[in-house]
């Protein structure tokens, strides 16, 4: 891969050791002749990543979610270094980052694209989500009755606490907690998972890549909360429809050359079994 010559750091200073690690990695980058810019602001402004070869995010998956939309729009690859807990997106550990950063800057990495969702509601400007779009009652106090359409074809009506529309990346987040399926990140699909459905036969549905989904409340006076990645929300007027599709943009994730999705899953989800190489520590 091309060497990295312009590098932005986004640091979650609330995470223990994140600032110290950022300083150490920035020193490695500067010693290699890489131009560096650093911020610890939780939200980066539009255009801040312009001209950067990569963005190194130090924190947890939530920190990456705060950067993902701007990075995707700027087509800047993201290096995730974990100083959080689970870390499905921040796949580099502190030790791996320190040991491999010079080689990574020189081009020893691979880039894997991750799909995002585009979401709009009525006249409200649309937005993007890396993990999921959540639709529920605005006050969160009652069941919602939501009709779902796929490419204008009626799918079904859900009576539930809400609906989660998830990307493959987000399948390990809220979707997993709600009993939804795990989806390989290379499968560009949308997973729909109802939260506590009133009808027990309502289960997750997987929609194809090009689908255009539309969700509308059955009640004309219903007011919906539409949350994106648990960080941003859309204002939805009464009886307005919500439209969801796979976005044109992709988040580019930087991974080690030997990155294995299923090795990460085994480690993070505590699955049983390991390969001979993993048993040897290789």
- As a 3-state breakdown, the chain gives helix, strand, coil percent values, each rounded to 5, of 20, 35, 40
Ranges of the chain whose pLDDT falls below 50: 276, 280, 282
Closest CA to 172 of 258, 250, 267, 257: 267
At residue 125, the pLDDT reads: 78
> Which domains are delineated in the chain?
6-109+256-280 (3.40.50.10330), 116-248 (2.60.200.30)
Give the number of residues written for the chain. Answer: 282
**SS3 state of residue 185:** coil
pLDDT tens per residue across span 26-73: 999 999 999 999 999 888 999 999 999 999 999 999 999 999 999 999
d(CA 10, CA 73): 16
At residue 155, the pLDDT reads: 97
Q: Which residues are the active-site residues?
A: 61
CB-based contacts of 142, cutoff 8 Å, min separation 6 = none
At residue 267, the pLDDT reads: 84
Q: Are 163 and 146 in contact (CB under 8 A)?
A: yes
């Amino acid at each position: 891969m091309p060497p990295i010559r312009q590098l932005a750091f986004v640091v979650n200073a609330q995470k223990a050791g994140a600032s110290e690690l950022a300083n150490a990695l920035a020193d490695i980058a500067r010693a290699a002749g890489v131009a560096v810019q650093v911020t610890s602001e939780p939200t980066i402004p539009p255009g801040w990543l312009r001209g950067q070869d990569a963005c190194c995010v130090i924190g947890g998956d939530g920190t990456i979610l705060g950067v993902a939309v701007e990075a995707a729009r700027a087509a800047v690859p993201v290096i995730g270094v974990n100083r959080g807990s689970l870390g499905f997106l921040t796949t580099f550990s502190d030790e791996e980052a320190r040991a491999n950063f010079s080689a990574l800057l020189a081009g020893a990495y691979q880039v894997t694209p991750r799909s995002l969702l585009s979401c709009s509601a009525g006249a409200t400007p649309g937005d993007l989500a890396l993990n999921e779009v959540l639709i529920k009652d605005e006050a969160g106090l009652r069941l919602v009755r939501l009709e779902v359409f796929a490419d204008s074809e009626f799918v079904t009506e859900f009576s539930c606490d809400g609906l989660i529309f998830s990307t493959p990346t987000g399948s390990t987040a809220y979707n997993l907690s709600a009993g939804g399926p795990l989806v390989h990140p290379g499968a560009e699909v949308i997973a729909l998972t109802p939260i506590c459905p009133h009808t027990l036969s309502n289960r997750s549905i997987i929609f194809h890549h090009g689908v255009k989904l539309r969700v509308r409340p059955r009640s004309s006076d219903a007011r919906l909360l539409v949350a994106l990645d648990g960080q941003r929300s859309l204002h939805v007027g009464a009886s307005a429809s919500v439209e969801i599709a796979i976005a044109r943009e992709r988040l580019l994730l930087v991974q080690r050359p030997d990155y294995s999705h299923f090795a990460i899953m085994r480690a993070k989800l505590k699955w049983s079994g390991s390969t001979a190489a993993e048993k040897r520590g290789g």
